[in-house]
Each structure stands twice: as structure tokens, then as C-alpha cells.
Amino acid sequence: MTKNTALKKVISAPYLVWAALFIIVPLIFVVYYSLVDAGGSFSLEYIKSIGRYKDIMLNSIWLGFVATIICLVIAYPLAYIMARSTKNVQRTMMMLVMLPMWMNLLIRTYSLMILLQDTGILNSVFTFLHLPVRHMINTRAAVVLGMVYNYIPYMILPLYSIMVKIDYGLVEAAQDLGASRFSVLRKIILPLTAPGIASGFTMVFVPSVSTFYISKKLGGSTFSLIGDIIEMQFKSANNYNLGAALSLILMVLILLCMAIMNRFTGDDDDGGVLI
């Protein structure tokens, strides 16, 4: 037994060191910077000024939420179809899902901008077909599209990995007992895939809410998300304290959203799934 725990310690050491260096220490820095003023003495000035950023925070959370729901709606059936296909088809589909991720997010977003511009590729096709030019770039829809496009693999993967493990016998049993298709979905498949939904939700929602590059390129930076404002504080405004305070509040808000989410998926109080 003692040997076992010693081994455990050795095995977990790399991750613990990693977590301490790159998760705990940065978090401490964020908390520290948000609680001091420019001179380094304790002050709640920046935390208190957060009220002025209320609108933009709501906006960011809402757009992130919408993007996540769209991802879920697209990914859920797709993941199910994937999981029920033959091994070969599964492999091919997995490749297709992963393929865009071989390119960098910045390049994908920049290409999307060129695609959607008023003089972009899509509009050139429209003009060629004598259709009116549609204004697509620099809208909230374009930003949500960018989020969905970039983050949908993070929704498909956890859903798929949960769904391949479902014992299909349960579905057949339910059907034998006379459950309608809808009941099978609601009573069998949904509860069994809840952990996948929860982790997919987290993996899409969190980066969407805090994104800055996507909104800058596809929103034309005439409307900003909270990520843009935070980036500005660190990159050009040189106001680490405000940036840290905003990040801290955003973290708290995201945790809150995740907690609410877990009320749904942690069915019948069997505990938090993934936060």
C-alpha cells in the first residue's frame, strides 16, 4: 500500500509541478494585481470600477452562450451519428472534425474575415449570380459564426467519446418496453451523455466568452468583447491592475455559469461533473 502511494506521488509529480507553475502562480498574480493600485499598495479601486464594464460583460457572456448552444445543437446529432457508424467511417469523420484544427486559429479567423467581407469571396459569388451584396462582416452574427467555427471540435470530441461508450442494449431494451423515440432520447440517451454535454459546454463556453482575436477580426472592433478590453489593458494601455480585475470578475462569472450548468447535467445530485 505504501509503495502504491509512493508510486502515485512520483507519477503525479510532473502534473503537480506543472499546475503549480502555470495555474496556481498565475492565478495568484491575477488576484494580486487586481487588489493593488499602480503603486503596489492595497486598493479595491479596480474591482469597484467593474460596474462600468457590466454591459460588455453581459454581451460577451451572451454571445458565448449562444455560440455554445449552436455548437451543441450541431454537434450532438453529429456525434451520435459518428458513434453509431462503422469504425472506418468513424475514423474518416474524426479526421474531418480535426482537420481544421491543424491550422492555426488566427489564420482560420483571418480567412473567415476575407470570406465574409463586402468585397470578399462569398459576396463575389453573390454578385456573379446577380444577387445583392449581403453585409456579413462586423456583425454579432459574424462573431458568433467565428466562435462556432473555431470551437465546435471541442464540443464534438467529448460528446463522441461518451457516446461510443453507451451500451446500445439499453436503447433496445427501452424500445422493447415500448418507449417512444422521444422517450428513448429523453430518458436514456440524454442522461447517459450528460457528462459529455457538460465538458463540451465548458470547453466551448469558456474560450468563447474570453476570446479577443475573433471579435476583433470579425466584429471589426467597433464592438468589443470583454476579452478585447482585457487584452488592451495588458498589451497597450499598460494597466495590469484593471486587466487583472476584469479577468478575475470574468472568472467568477464563468464559474457561476458552470455551476448553474452542472445543476442540469449532474442529474439527481450525483455530483459535479467537470467545472
Q: Which residues bind other proteins (CB under 8 A)?
A: 52-53, 55-56, 58-59, 62, 65-66, 114, 117-120, 135, 138, 140, 217, 219-224, 228-229, 232, 234-240, 260, 263-264
Residue with cell 459576396: 123
The DSSP bridge partners found for residue 42 are 36
Q: How far is the CB of 53 from other proteins (least distance, A)?
A: 7
173 Cβ partners below 8 Å, 6+ apart? none
Nearer to other proteins, 3 or 52 (CB): 52
Identify the DSSP state of 237.
S
Nearer to other proteins, 37 or 167 (CB): 37
Nearer to other proteins, 193 or 217 (CB): 217
First to last CA, the chain: 31
Nearer to other proteins, 22 or 62 (CB): 62
161 Cβ partners below 8 Å, 6+ apart? 196
Q: How far apart, in whole angstroms, are the C-alpha atoms of residue 160 and residue 104?
A: 23
Nearer to other proteins, 90 or 224 (CB): 224
Q: How far is the CB of 159 from other proteins (least distance, A)?
A: 21
Please name the amino acid found at residue 73: V
Nearer to other proteins, 65 or 126 (CB): 65
Nearer to other proteins, 98 or 255 (CB): 255
Q: How far apart, in whole angstroms, are the C-alpha atoms of residue 158 and residue 173?
A: 25
Query: 109: which 3 cell numbers?
Result: 479567423
Residue with cell 509503495: 3
- Helix residue ranges per DSSP H, the chain: 2-19, 25-34, 45-48, 54-84, 87-98, 105-116, 121-128, 140-163, 168-176, 181-183, 190-209, 213-218, 226-235, 240-265
